[in-house]
């Protein structure tokens, strides 16, 4: 990949979109992970105002530390970057106390996704205050491969600058931009679980394995190992289950003769 040209292309794309939208800048959630680090850095390079928003909910201390360190690094390099922190732990706990909890296997996941949706609402609050666009941080594997995001949570954005980059390409560009080593070396996680589950823990496959599955040629079905068969099964299961996240909302079109 031609890293410098790709970086320049995305930055120009962001700036053009911002100008055409008549909005005044970008708002982005910072998690301490690689995707938000790269996206916020690309956004900062446009020169337009960028608001980095921290939104801890029972957050792991290391994630918070990485996020804060990255924001300070951005501020030192780019004068157009500002930040704000909103601790949503109390809001989340209040929701849990007010909601009707059903003790089944879906409850834990529903609460994890609630965290992501609370963060989405918070980002849009600040974005609207400043007339900013909400910038998505999803990569190609998450957004169009396995659908590993929360619908109307981290999937609720105005534009997605890195959604055509594989995870390995996200790391390539991040390294080229000298993003902090502690972020480059951290295990990817969505930060939605108190026991610090990594993405690989949840999915059952690494991003490199998922990228292989995305590009797998079915004609080679008989030439793969048992682990590769397992990876394909994992990928296909997530892709099928999360298909509804990766397509436009279905609209029931009423025949003209019925109107």
CATH code of the domain covering residue 12:
3.40.50.620
Asked whether residue 197 carries a pLDDT value surpassing 90, the answer given is no
22 within some domain:
yes
User: What's the confidence (pLDDT) of residue 217?
Assistant: 81
What pLDDT does 142 receive?
95
Number of domains present in the structure of the chain:
1
Q: Report yes or no: 241 and 148 within 8 Å, Cβ to Cβ.
A: no
Rounded distance between C-alpha atoms, residue 126 and residue 242, angstroms = 29
- Would you say residue 104 lies in a domain? yes
Q: Is residue 233 very low, low, confident or very high in pLDDT (cuts 50, 70, 90)? A: very high
Name residue 83's beta-bridge partners.
Answer: 52
With H, G, I as helix, E, B as strand and everything else as coil, classify residue 85.
Answer: strand
Q: What is the pLDDT of residue 222?
A: 74
Domain that holds residue 195: 3-245
Domain presence at residue 106: yes
Nearest-angstrom CA–CA distance, 20 and 155: 22
Which long-range CB contacts under 8 A does 184-187 form with residues at least 24 apart? Answer: 184/34, 186/32, 186/33, 186/34, 186/62, 186/66
SS3 157: coil
- Quick one: pLDDT at residue 220? 72
Q: Is residue 166 classed exposed, middle or buried when 0-12, 13-18 and 19+ CB atoms within 10 A define those classes?
A: buried
Q: Which pLDDT does position 226 carry in this prediction?
A: 92
The predicted structure's pLDDT at residue 100 = 73
Percent of the chain with pLDDT over 70: 98
For residue 205, tell me if it sits in a domain.
Answer: yes
Per-residue pLDDT, 66: 95
Q: Using CA atoms, how far apart are residues 257 and 254, in angstroms rounded to an integer?
A: 8
Report the pLDDT value the prediction gives residue 106, as an integer from 0 to 100: 81
Residue 92 belongs to a domain: yes
**Whole-angstrom Cα distance, residue 191 to residue 150?**
12
pLDDT value at position 193? 81
Residue 148 φ/ψ, nearest 5 degrees = -90, 70
Domain-embedded: residue 231: yes
Across all residues in the chain, what is the average pLDDT? 94
Q: Tell me which of 198 and 132 has the higher pLDDT.
A: 132
Q: Which range has the worst mean pLDDT, 48-57, 101-110, 114-123, 152-161? A: 101-110
Note the pLDDT tens digit of each residue in 123-169: 999 999 999 999 999 999 999 999 999 999 999 999 999 999 999 99
Beta strands in 41-159 (DSSP E): 50-54, 81-85, 132-134
Tell me the per-residue pLDDT of 2-16, one tens digit each, with 9 for 90 and over: 999 999 999 999 999
Which DSSP category does 142 fall into?
I
Assigned domain for 109 exists: yes
250 inside domain: no
**pLDDT of 86:** 96
pLDDT at 37 over 90: yes
Mean pLDDT lowest among 46-55, 75-84, 143-152, 187-196: 187-196
């Amino acid at each position: 990949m031609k890293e410098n040209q790709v970086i320049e292309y995305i930055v120009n794309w962001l700036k053009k979109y911002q100008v055409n939208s008549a909005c005044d800048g970008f708002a982005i959630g910072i998690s301490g992970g690689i995707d938000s680090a790269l996206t916020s850095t690309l956004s900062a390079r446009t020169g337009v105002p960028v608001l980095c928003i921290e939104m801890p909910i029972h957050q792991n201390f290391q994630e918070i530390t990485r996020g804060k360190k990255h924001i300070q690094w951005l501020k030192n390099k780019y004068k157009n970057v500002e930040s704000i922190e909103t601790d949503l732990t109390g809001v989340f706990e209040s929701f849990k106390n007010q909601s009707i909890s059903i003790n089944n296997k879906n409850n834990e996941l529903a609460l994890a996704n609630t965290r992501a949706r609370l963060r989405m609402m918070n980002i849009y609050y600040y974005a609207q205050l400043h007339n900013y666009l909400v910038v998505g941080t999803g990569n190609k594997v998450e957004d169009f491969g396995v659908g590993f995001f929360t619908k109307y949570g981290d999937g609720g954005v105005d534009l997605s600058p890195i959604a055509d980059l594989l995870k390995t390409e996200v790391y390539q560009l991040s390294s080229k931009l000298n993003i902090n080593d502690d972020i480059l070396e951290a295990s990817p996680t969505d930060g939605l679980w108190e026991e610090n589950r990594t993405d690989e823990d949840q999915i059952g496959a690494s991003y490199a394995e998922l990228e292989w599955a995305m590009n797998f040629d079915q004609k080679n079905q008989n030439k793969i190992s048992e682990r590769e068969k397992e990876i394909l099964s994992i990928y296909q299961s997530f892709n099928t289950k999360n298909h509804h996240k990766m397509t436009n909302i279905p609209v029931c079109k009423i025949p003209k003769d019925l109107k």
